[in-house]
């Protein structure tokens, strides 16, 4: 007599796709809600634009590292859900986010073996408490910390900008480029220094750049930063 299988294996279940997660009504509403909390607290945009950019950069990094297709898709899901915990509060949002992500993905039928690395990546993406614990996690960290751009500013009154508003408003272009031959990942910024100085950028982003450096080192790369044509080693 064949033993009864209480839980299906990953191979026997429908694999939840990035597109399904991205278009899920609960996901969309919770990300909208998270951004509303951030806006009310005076933070820059943390909505669908931000998580979409982060998921795209995460995919780009892992594709260049030639990671398996399923790992890349799971990393995109982690990237899209990484800030969903802001719907509760900015403080401890990675932990809240991991809890919410588990509930959502479990409801959708994702196997726990696939949920696990997603939760680790979400729970470790913030520089104050997190660490690059995996290739997926490291790619998400670099993608998240690289999204600095004027389009993220939500405060309509320039006179009341804080330093985060000014720095984001000053960044006119931002891009991440990988050089597999030299094993480097470079963040290139074009900054309007009439809005914010390069020193102001480092005042709020230094710890994030250090986290990016550690993340790049996890998969054997060097993290580089170029601002207005000047390479900063």
Q: Give me the pLDDT at residue 12, please.
A: 53
* Residue 189 counted as domain residue: yes
* Residue 164 counted as domain residue: yes
| CATH number (domain holding residue 117) | 1.10.3210.10
* Residue 7 counted as domain residue: no
* Residue 8 counted as domain residue: no
Q: Give me the pLDDT at residue 13, please.
A: 60
* Residue 33 counted as domain residue: yes
Q: Which residue segment(s) compose the domain that 24 sits in?
A: 14-232
**For the whole model, what pTM was predicted?**
0.92
Q: Give me the pLDDT at residue 171, please.
A: 96
pLDDT in tens, the chain (233 residues): 454 444 444 445 689 999 999 999 999 999 999 999 999 999 999 999 999 999 999 999 999 999 999 999 999 999 999 999 999 999 999 999 999 999 999 999 999 999 999 999 999 999 888 999 999 999 999 999 999 999 999 998 888 899 999 999 999 999 999 999 999 999 999 999 999 999 999 999 999 999 999 999 999 999 999 999 998 86
- Pick the closest to residue 117 from 166, 81, 155, 160 (CA basis): 81
* Residue 4 counted as domain residue: no
* Residue 9 counted as domain residue: no
Q: How many structural domains comprise the chain?
A: 1
* Residue 23 counted as domain residue: yes
């Amino acid at each position: 007599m064949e033993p009864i299988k209480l839980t299906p294996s990953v191979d026997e279940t429908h694999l939840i796709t990035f597109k399904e997660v991205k278009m899920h009504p609960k996901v969309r509403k919770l990300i909208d809600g998270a951004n509303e909390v951030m806006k009310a607290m005076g933070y820059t945009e943390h909505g669908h634009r931000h998580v979409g950019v982060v998921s795209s950069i995460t995919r780009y990094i892992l594709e260049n590292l030639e990671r398996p297709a399923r790992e890349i898709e799971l990393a995109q899901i982690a990237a899209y859900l990484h800030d969903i915990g802001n719907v509760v509060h900015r403080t401890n949002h990675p932990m809240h986010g991991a809890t919410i992500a588990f509930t959502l993905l479990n409801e959708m039928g994702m196997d726990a073996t696939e949920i696990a690395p997603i939760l680790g990546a979400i729970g470790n993406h913030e520089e104050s408490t997190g660490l690059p614990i995996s290739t997926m996690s490291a790619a998400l960290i670099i993608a998240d910390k690289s999204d600095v751009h004027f389009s993220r500013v939500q405060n309509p009154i320039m006179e009341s900008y804080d330093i985060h508003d000014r720095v984001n408003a000053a960044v006119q272009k931002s891009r991440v480029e990988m050089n597999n031959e030299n094993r480097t990942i470079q963040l290139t910024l074009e900054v309007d220094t009439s809005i914010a100085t390069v020193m102001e950028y480092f005042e709020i982003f230094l710890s994030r750049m250090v986290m990016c450096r550690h993340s790049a080192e996890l998969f054997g790369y060097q993290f580089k930063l170029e601002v207005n044509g000047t390479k900063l080693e």
